[in-house]
Structure 1
Amino acid sequence: MERAGKKLHKDYEKKIQDSPENSREEVFHKYVWEQYQTLTPEFHRESLLISLYNFLENQLNTLCEKLAVSVDSRIELKDLNGKGIERAKLYLTKMVGIDFNRFEGEWSYIQDINKVRNCIVHNGGKISSDPNNKLHEVTRKNSKLTKTETGYLSVGSDLIEDFITTLLEFFEKLEAEVERYGTIKSAGDSLE
């Protein structure tokens, strides 16, 4: 994205130099339109990724809150250490007994997206130059994520579709686990 912006800027400077004084405003408007067409899809994909991730985190937190009420637990999500989806996972595994091994592939992908989201939100998409940064591994194993020459993360157009598909599969499996938990709880209630 940054590389495309620099190329457009150089093209703009050349066009301004080569154009007559009275047409420079038109050249400027064309440049702005080209910038918009080049940069907007990337911003849109980043915004979608952040929104989808926010939806996931909110749904997990809501589920934890509802399950805490259903089991009449004095321990709530906010009482546990951690943040975000990892804290929700901790609650669901320790307090409810949800088996995350049943959707390990989806959860692993979601954890990778968490790293991407954090890079976009906290670093403006700039990938740390630290070779131990886990985002380097994520970009190596996911062809829909690339690191630009200037060190920025680029979200490929198919990544959003993959993320949505993964979320749907994850929520379907999570729902089955919650239903399994409800069945186990109901069986336990009937024994009392």
Structure 2
Amino acid sequence: MIERRQFKETSIFLVFQNLIEMELKEVEDYINEISCELRQKQKKLEKDYENANKKVEEDAEYDVNSFFEDDIHKYFKVFPIYTYNPLLLTLYGQFENWLKKLCDLDSRKGFSKVRVKDLAGNNYIEKSRRYLEIVAEINLDDTKLEWQKITQIQKLRNCIAHNDSNIIKDKSIPIEKQELYKNILNDNRLEFDKIKGDFYIKEPEFLFDTIGLIRKYLAAVIDKIKSRNVVAKNMSMPFDNANWGQEKTENLLKQIISALNQLDENEARTDEYKDSDLKGNLRGIFESMAFNVTKLYSFFTNGKWETIDQKYIIEEREKGLEKIKKLYDIK
């Protein structure tokens, strides 16, 4: 018989991950195309400038720079500013939207009524991080490095969007003491005015690296969140006990299998001790099962389990069960 469950449905998170990858690839293709065109114009301008210099190198009165300065300004500053800076805003907006959607998808599982929009935070990136750690209870320790880089990009994005691409937020503080000064100064993918504080993205590699960072972080989050299928808690054990519950129920299944094997072995035996051995072995298995069952019963009824609970079942049977129900305060 074919077991239909072996043909697993595609996780909605994997579908969403494929959608993210497709959209990131489209942005990469777009950046590649426009950056190639811009670089071609820059290289042509550099070559024309070099050739012009060679032609007039003996004529000191001819100023080549004044002839090319408008085009240099246009292709090496204006075009990158209007091309790459807005693209960072676009990437940030997409990243924020994707994180929010991931949290919304997780909330559909019904483990908590808290939604990402209910949490404190200045933006959905912060709220989503809080949701994943507090509500979804996902351990994101192994993404700390990526998160630090993301927060730096977030600060750059905020300067572009809210401070006219300038790092100076408090004019009473020297520019060298501004929060982003050292980071921007040491990043050769950015053009930075150390006097005025203005900056812009001059190299598309900055955007490609940002895309790679987004891709890596979201892949890590999706990998963790898609495997969160069961949460088991009670008031006495408020942390997730899903793995503990899996272990106990698996032990029960193994004990059932062991009991069935004992019955099969009994059928094959012909000696006079086979029935007495079977009874002894089955009793031992049932006693072990009673430990696991009473532990699970106490968990799901929020009762306080004691080792004697197993004896109540083994020795007192129905009366023992009633005693346990009273001890667990089951109405």
TM range (shorter): 0.7 to 0.9
Pairwise CA distance, 1:176 = 1.2
Partner of 2:161, secondary structure, is: helix
Cα deviation, residue 143, structure 1: 3.7
Deviation at 1:32, TM superposition (A): 6.9
The higher relative CO (CA closer than 8 Å, separation ≥ 6) is in: 1
Aligned residue in 2 for 1:179: 226
Task: Spell out the pairing of 1:133-148 with structure 2 (5 A cutoff).
Answer: 133-140=178-185, 142-148=187-193
Contact kept, 8 Å, 2:80 with 2:202, in 1: the verdict is no
Q: 1:35 to 1:156 in 2, by over 3 A?
A: closer
Alignment of 1:31-180 (within 5 A): 35-38=73-76, 39-84=78-123, 85-128=125-168, 129=171, 130=173, 132-140=177-185, 142-149=187-194, 150-157=196-203, 158-180=205-227
Q: CA RMSD in A?
A: 2.8
- Write the deviation string for residues 104-132 of structure 1: whole angstroms up to 9, x where unpaired: 11111111000000000000101115355
Compared with structure 1, are the counterparts of its residues 144 and 31 closer, same or farther at alpha carbon in structure 2 (3 Å cutoff)? closer
CA contact under 8 A between 1:148 and 1:154: conserved in structure 2?
no
1:36-63 deviations in whole A, cap 9, x for unaligned? 4331122211111110010000011111
Q: Quote the Cα distance in structure 2 between the aligned partners of 1:57 and 1:63.
A: 10
1:89-108 CA-to-partner distances (Å, cap 9, x unmatched) read 00110000122212111111
Q: Looking at secondary structure, tell me which structure has more helix per residue.
A: 1
Normalised TM-score (structure 1): 0.72
Q: Which runs of 5+ in 1 are unaligned?
A: 1-26
Name the CA shift for 1:50/1:95 in 2 (closer, same or farther; >3 Å).
Answer: same
Give, in whole Å, the separation in 1 of the partners of 2:188 and 2:74: 25
Percentage identity across aligned positions? 23
1:133/1:94 Cα in 2 relative to 1: closer, same or farther (>3 Å)? farther
Contact 2:143 2:217 in 1 (8 A): yes
**TM-score, length of structure 2 as denominator length:** 0.44
Tell me how far 1:82 sits from its aligned partner. 0.8
2:185, 2:220 → 1: CA distance? 27
Q: Tell me the CA shift for residue 71 of structure 1.
A: 2.5
Deviation at 1:179, TM superposition (A): 2.4
**Number of residue pairs the alignment of both structures matches:** 163
For residues 9-28 of structure 1, what are the structure 2 equivalents within 5 Å?
A: none
**Residue of structure 2 equivalent to 1:12:** none
Give unpaired runs (5+ residues) of structure 2. 1-66, 233-240, 250-299, 301-331
Deviation of the 1:181 alpha carbon: 2.3
Q: Is the 8 A contact 1:97 1:181 kept in 2?
A: no
Looking at structure 1, the residues matched to 140 and 100 of structure 2 have their Cα atoms a distance apart, in angstroms, of 16
